[in-house]
Amino acid sequence: MRATALATALAVLCVGSSGAHAYDVPGWSGDSRVRQVVYRQDEVVRVIAQRGFATHIALDPAEHILVVAPGDRDGWQVVANRGDHDVYLKPQLAAHDTNLEIRTDRHSYSFDLVVLPLRARFGNDDEMYRITFVYPDVEAAKTKTTDAAALVRERLDQPPRVRNSAYSMQVMPHSEDIAPTAAWDDGRFTYIRIPNNRRIPAIFRVADDDSESVVDRHMEDDVIVVHEVARRFVLRLGKEVVGLWNDAFDVDGVPPADGTTVSGVKRVLRSDGHE
């Protein structure tokens, strides 16, 4: 394996904290040769390797290596590429215990490199083939994001707030099949409930001059959600006609101060990754 040097790979880095100490990494997944480390900035990770075998240090895929500095550049083969997140180690015949410093665009890492004796048994419980990291700050951020998304989803799934239920209707002859069982609004949208076993009529907004215009709407279970509030609507299906009056119409309505009528939810518009 040929070592690929970084531009500043042989720079000497200092251990971040005088109180830092090397600690052994427990095995996981039932195989002691594969280890998982909880990343802590002020701690040193002990890596135990065997001559003739490679060890893979896998950093966070989202970070990029800037500097790799081995203490014993002649006894240890270190392969890493600037911008990658993987480092490969291999002790040579003349290798001795040393250290390794890695700096990325997100974290700094300190390692104790320990080489097993020449007569070490193959497949022993000490040598390490792969080391990965878990990052508490990243996991906490993921949990926070997940919790926030769940809270928004919960609030969005809540039934619409009833601001006005003062609606009356006039059902024309033979039009009972399209007559709503309830109507209300939240100051911005109008909600018209028609049981699922009934046919869904077209809905028109009636202007002051009695002209009619089609409204935007969508269905939520057995409720027609009309994307506006008006003084009067008319429901039509063939020859069936039902008039619907908003007896407490508020011309100002309820403006969505946060871009949404759902309490506790703010709509944010993003463009090219910016708010």
Range in 19-28, 105-114, 198-207 with the lowest mean pLDDT:
19-28
Looking at the DSSP bridge assignments, the partners of residue 237 are 240
Same domain, 43 and 112: yes
| pTM > 0.95: yes or no | no
On whether residue 157 sits in a domain, the answer given is: no
Stronger pLDDT, 16 or 132, i.e. the higher one:
132
Domains: count for the chain: 2
Burial of 68-96, coded b for 16+ CB within 10 Å and e otherwise, reads: bbbbbeebbbbbbeeebbebbbbbeeebe
Q: Is 40 left (phi over 0), alpha (psi -120 to 50) or beta?
A: beta
Do 26 and 125 belong to one domain? yes
- In this predicted structure, the answer to whether residue 222 has a pLDDT above a threshold of 80 is yes
Across residues 146-169, what is the average pLDDT?
72
Mean pLDDT throughout 197-210? 93
Q: What is the pLDDT of residue 119?
A: 77
The fraction of the chain above a pLDDT of 90, given in percent, is: 59
Question: Both 32 and 126 in a single domain?
Answer: yes
CATH number, domain with residue 205:
2.60.40.2500
**pLDDT band of 221, cuts 50, 70, 90:** confident
Take residue 198 and report the two structure tokens written for it. Answer: 């009934």
Q: What is the CATH number of the domain that holds 74?
A: 2.60.40
Examine the domain organization and report whether 42 and 102 are in the same domain: yes
Q: State how beta strands 217-220 and 27-28 pair.
A: unpaired
**72 in any annotated domain:** yes
Cα(275)–Cα(270) distance, integer angstroms: 4
Domain holding 241, by residue range, is 167-246
Are 26 and 119 part of one and the same domain?
A: yes
Q: Are residues 130 and 30 in the same domain?
A: yes
Please tell me whether residues 133 and 177 are part of one structural domain.
no
Report residue 229's pLDDT band, with 50, 70 and 90 as the boundaries: very high
Please report the pLDDT score of residue 83 as a whole number.
Answer: 95
* Residue 253: pLDDT band with limits 50, 70, 90: low
Instruction: Give yes or no for a contact between 233 and 226, defined as CB atoms under 8 angstroms apart.
Output: yes
Q: For 3-44, how does the pLDDT look when each residue is reduced to its tens digit (9 = 90+)?
A: 444 433 333 333 333 344 444 555 445 678 899 999 998 999
> Looking at the structure, do residues 133 and 26 belong to the same domain, yes or no?
yes
For residue 63, the model assigns a pLDDT of: 94
Lowest mean pLDDT among 57-61, 142-146, 179-183: 142-146
- Does 92 have pLDDT greater than 50? yes
